[in-house]
Amino acid sequence: MRLVLSFAALFLSVILLQLSSGGLGPLDALSGFALGFTNAQVGLLGSAHFVGFFVGCWWAPRLMGSVGHSRGFAAFTALGTIGILGHTLSDDPYVWAALRVAQGLCIAGCYTVVEAWLQAKVTNENRGRSMGAYRFADMGASLVAQLLISVLEPAHYASYTLLALLCAASLLPITLTQASQPETPAAPRLHPALAWSRSPLAVAGVLVAALSAASFRMVGPVYGAGVGLANTQIALFLAAFVAGGALSQFPVGWLADKFDRRTVLIWLSLAAILSCVVTASISNLSTTGIMLTAAFFGLTSFPIYSVAAAHAHDFAQSHERVELSAALMFWYATGAIAAPWLASVLIEAYGPPALFVMIAVGHAGLVVFGVLRSRARPSATDRTRYVASPRTSFLVGRLLGRMRDRDEN
């Protein structure tokens, strides 16, 4: 029972944290518009978030090793709360960018603590169920977070205060649990070249996944406002993307386990290109049509990271899984830092459809590279099982490693 209560506390902290962080990105975009920020400055906020996220992924395991799980979580939550509340003290976009770095640190650090705690408590018997519940809590809260902007007034202190309260509240479940803190795992070594040596296509796949997800979620409100969507409709637009991505995991996982994963990546990218072309080229698309294309875009682009990761692990040894997962996260974070700013600059120069043109070009490059890699070497004979991979921390590989090896033992 104590284990169940411990997991419940972790999941409640994740839900509150995701509600806070997931609502901040679109709120910042709409608030930036209200305050007269340029599109490039709005995109900079999204890029700054991922700068903090990347630094946090590297720093969090080391801080956690020094002060423990609960204190580490408290420190990162304090950073996140400061990062949100600081928005009410200044209207300068570069100050906001610095505050978004703090919020990115918070997200990476808190997820590192949660996943280290889960890794220490789960067993092989309950690992699958625990990860399923964890992903349900995370994705469900992310979906609801997108809808928050329909009720949050842009550039208003009350909106940021509410998100700060949610961030601070995430501290309560994990610090008040009576379950003992686990031992701190060693931080994984970061070897980005490992991912490229095992699968260049996987590196390309996670970069394109970052290009799609980071630019859409951070700059999507810029597109929505540019095509005349109201705040409520922008909330549904972003939520449709998340819902499509959540619904895709099972069918895409089945396809990725049954067919060559390079072929699955290619067809997913072709479908994503189709949704981008429809969205960018049809100027009089109805609101319902926009929502459907967003959902289809999420369905086709969201699982690309997991398929690419599974393909990379097909060519890795069991002892490489943790470091390989961290390397793939490194490449994802690298792409996610650049994508929002680049998307916003293109929107400034060419209009809202440029967002989807940029994403379509990225997927087209993945299609071409996938065809070339298919000819370069045969697919792996002994394949790991497909696992829906969260992009949350460098430690998530410890949670997923044994799930991938289950069929090999």
What pLDDT does 281 receive?
81
Q: Kindly list the distances between the CA atom of residue 329 and the CA atoms of 98, 336, 396, in Å, as whole numbers in the listed order.
A: 22, 10, 9
d(CA 191, CA 65): 20
Transcribe 382-396 into DSSP letters.
Answer: SPPPP-----S-TTH
Provide the 3-class DSSP secondary structure of residue 167: helix
d(CA 199, CA 384): 14
Span 195-234, pLDDT tens digits: 999 999 999 999 999 999 999 989 999 888 888 888 889 9
What percent of the chain has a predicted confidence (pLDDT) above 90?
Answer: 55
What pLDDT does 69 receive?
82
d(CA 270, CA 279): 14
d(CA 379, CA 376): 10
d(CA 149, CA 96): 18
Q: What are phi and psi of 303, to 5 degrees?
A: -80, 0
Residue range 147-160: average pLDDT? 93
Q: In this structure, which amino acid lies at residue 19?
A: L
Task: Give 407's pLDDT tier (boundaries 50, 70, 90).
Answer: very low
- CB contact burial 54-70 (16+ within 10 A = b; e otherwise): bbbbbbbbebbbeebbb
Q: What is the pTM of this model?
A: 0.91
Q: In this structure, which amino acid lies at residue 120?
A: A
Task: Give 347's pLDDT tier (boundaries 50, 70, 90).
Answer: very high
Sequence-ordered alpha helix ranges (H) in 259-353: 261-281, 287-301, 304-314, 321-350
Residue range 169-180: average pLDDT? 81
d(CA 238, CA 224): 9
What pLDDT does 179 receive?
64
The least confident of 221-235, 310-324, 357-371, 376-390 is 376-390
Maximum average pLDDT range among 74-88, 175-189, 236-250: 74-88
Span 284-324, pLDDT tens digits: 777 788 888 899 999 999 999 999 998 998 888 877 888 88
Residue range 77-103: average pLDDT? 96
In contact, 397 and 378? CB cutoff 8 Å: no
Span 8-39, pLDDT tens digits: 888 999 999 999 999 999 999 999 989 999 99
Is the CA virtual torsion 162, 163, 165, 166 positive or negative? positive
Residue range 242-271: average pLDDT? 91
d(CA 14, CA 141): 8
pLDDT reading at 112 higher than 50: yes
pLDDT reading at 392 higher than 90: no
